[in-house]
Amino acid sequence: MKEASAVGVASGKVILLGEHSVVYGEPAIAAAIDRQLEVTVRPRSGGNPYGAIGNRQRLAIARAAQRFGIEPETLMVEVRSEIPMGCGLGSSAAFSLALIRALSLFSRKPLLDGEVASRAAEIENVFHGTASGVDLAAAVQGGVIWFERFSAAPIVELLPPEPLDLVIALSGKPRGTFGPVSRLRDRYERFPKLYGRMFRLTGDVVRSARIALAAGDLELLGSLMNAAHGLLNALGVSTPTIDRMVRLARSAGAVGAKLTGAGGGGAVIALAPRGAEAVVSALAEEGFESFVTRLSVREPKGSQ
């Protein structure tokens, strides 16, 4: 027997440091953010099965439904998102996770947490090709995490001594993860030693940032975020607009600012312990929307 309708919810995420190099096995620090995405699944009663959603989401729904033994055409699926889509803030991972949670309730097939995560990972790959899993890990775990893809224990919960206020600024240029990740892979395959060194150097920055975070040394953490942005620039995933936003944030007092997520557009994060609002205003003056999010200890959202 199936539920009349079922809702799954999942959080967005932010990568503090380590995007891209995390795909190659280096560590990343990421966190869930207090913005959610909600998927509602109900039996279809005529009309467009999935409402107004894109092709990749359709494909993801079809795959996920089949894994639960449900004919995709029999479903109506609605998505409501507080997470800006395609901005590097984990909307694809949140969609995948919320969808699996909703389908599990709808079909009355409860799953263990690990099964939810592995099914959501399969679905996330519809969007990303070969995602490292960091976005999903942050959404599933909540709080601030250390993530190392090939480690025996890939997710470690980090406990910053104080909650961390982060400015998240949107470039207004949505982008997919697939393109920047696969173009960087092409460059890596052409010059594996050179790009491998840059990934390892980024890993060293992330390892140092873990120490700064644990010590509550936000000036140092900010410097390391700046170093990470320099390396992302060297990897070729930043853009003139992103660089301009980073400069604006630093001029307005941020101790650290960098792109977050896959780059090529998307979003910037800034750490401004002495005045996040000044950074928000400086960005707004130049037409960039931003908001402040508080990263704190674990508080998983939307689990079953």
Residue type, 118: S
Contacts of ligand MEV in 235-294 (CB under 6 A): 261-262
Based on the shown chain and the rule CB under 6 A, indicate whether residue 23 belongs to the binding site for ligand MEV. Answer: yes
Contacting residues for 156 by C-beta, under 8 A, at least 6 apart: 145, 146, 147
Judged by CB, which is closer to ligand MEV: 39, or 89? 89
Contacting residues for 85 by C-beta, under 8 A, at least 6 apart: 91, 174
| From 131, 138, 257, 280, residue interacting with ligand MEV (rule: CB under 6 A) | 131
- Between helices 192-215 and 178-190, what is the axis angle to 10°? 120
**Minimum gap (Å) between residue 12 Cβ and ligand MEV:** 10
Based on the shown chain and the rule CB under 6 A, indicate whether residue 145 belongs to the binding site for ligand MEV. Answer: no
User: What is the C-alpha radius of gyration for the chain, rounded to an integer number of angstroms?
Assistant: 19
**Candidate list 34, 113, 135, 165, residue with the active-site label:** 135
| From 11, 107, 177, 223, residue interacting with ligand MEV (rule: CB under 6 A) | 177
Report the C-alpha gap between 147 and 294 in whole angstroms: 20
Look up 34 and say whether it is catalytic: no
| From 8, 14, 20, 117, residue interacting with ligand MEV (rule: CB under 6 A) | 20
Angle, CA of 212, 232 and 200, to the nearest 5°: 65
**Minimum gap (Å) between residue 138 Cβ and ligand MEV:** 9
SS3 label, residue 248: helix
Number of residues that bind ligand MEV (CB under 6 A): 15
User: Which positions touch ligand MEV (CB under 6 A)?
Assistant: 15, 19-20, 22-23, 88, 128, 131-132, 134-135, 177, 181, 261-262
